[in-house]
């Protein structure tokens, strides 16, 4: 097994305490581990939302932020963000900003699978055409941040719990970072 198949396990204070195979950490007893989320904007100020592939172990088919992932052991988180943007969506990222360095959540899906992550949240930009990897992404859409924000308020059950929580902390539909239009 390669390092790419492992995630970084964390203690309650967020300190690395080891690694585990990625396939073993998403179950009914999920250990706290390191992840990240990224919200991608285009030149029109739209944010990319994706619908998770139907074969995903957690929240299959649910609409979520642009993409998420797990840094490999010893991999800088920013490198992992770039790697997963290319792998999941076929895009190169620019202007990557750390928006929520200490975001943490625990959620249980309908099948009893637990997500338990310390998950720094990034905002980035791209000018690339999105080419979703079907193993990861069923659909991708560019949407207006205000419209997404309204949908998150009126139908939170239609989205991943981490997107709903992140949007509350980012104030996604009011965020100057997301509202900023390219000149």
Q: Residue 182, CB half-sphere, CA atoms under 13 Å: how many? A: 12
The question of whether 75 is a catalytic residue gets the answer: no
**Beta-carbon count within 10 A of 22 CB:** 16
> Is 117 among the residues known to form the active site?
yes
Contacts of 57 (CB under 8 A, 6+ apart): 26, 113
Say how far apart CA 73 and CA 26 lie, in whole Å. 17
CA angle 123, 124, 125 (to 5 degrees): 140
DSSP letters along 82-125, please? HHHHHHHH----EEEEEEETT-EEEEE-TTS-EEEEE--EEEEE
Find the catalytic residue in 88, 115, 117, 136: 117
The active-site residue, picked from 38, 68, 88, 119, is: 68
Residues with catalytic function: 68, 117
């Amino acid at each position: 097994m390669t390092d790419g198949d492992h995630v970084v396990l964390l203690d309650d204070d967020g300190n690395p305490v080891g690694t585990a195979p990625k396939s073993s950490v998403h179950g009914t007893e999920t250990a706290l581990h390191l992840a990240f989320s990224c919200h991608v904007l285009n030149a029109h100020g739209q944010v990319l939302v994706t619908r998770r592939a139907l074969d995903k172990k957690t929240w299959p088919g649910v609409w979520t932020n642009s993409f998420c992932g797990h840094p490999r052991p010893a991999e800088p988180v920013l490198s992992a963000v770039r790697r997963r943007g290319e792998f999941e969506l076929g895009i190169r990222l620019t202007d990557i900003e750390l928006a929520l360095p200490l975001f943490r959540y625990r959620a249980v899906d309908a099948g009893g699978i637990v997500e338990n992550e310390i998950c720094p949240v990034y905002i980035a930009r791209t000018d690339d055409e999105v080419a979703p990897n079907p193993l990861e992404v069923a659909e991708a859409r560019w949407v207006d941040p205000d419209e997404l924000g309204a949908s998150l308020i009126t139908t939170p059950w239609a989205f991943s719990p981490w997107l709903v929580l992140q949007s509350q902390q980012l104030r996604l539909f009011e965020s100057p970072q997301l509202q900023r239009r390219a000149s």
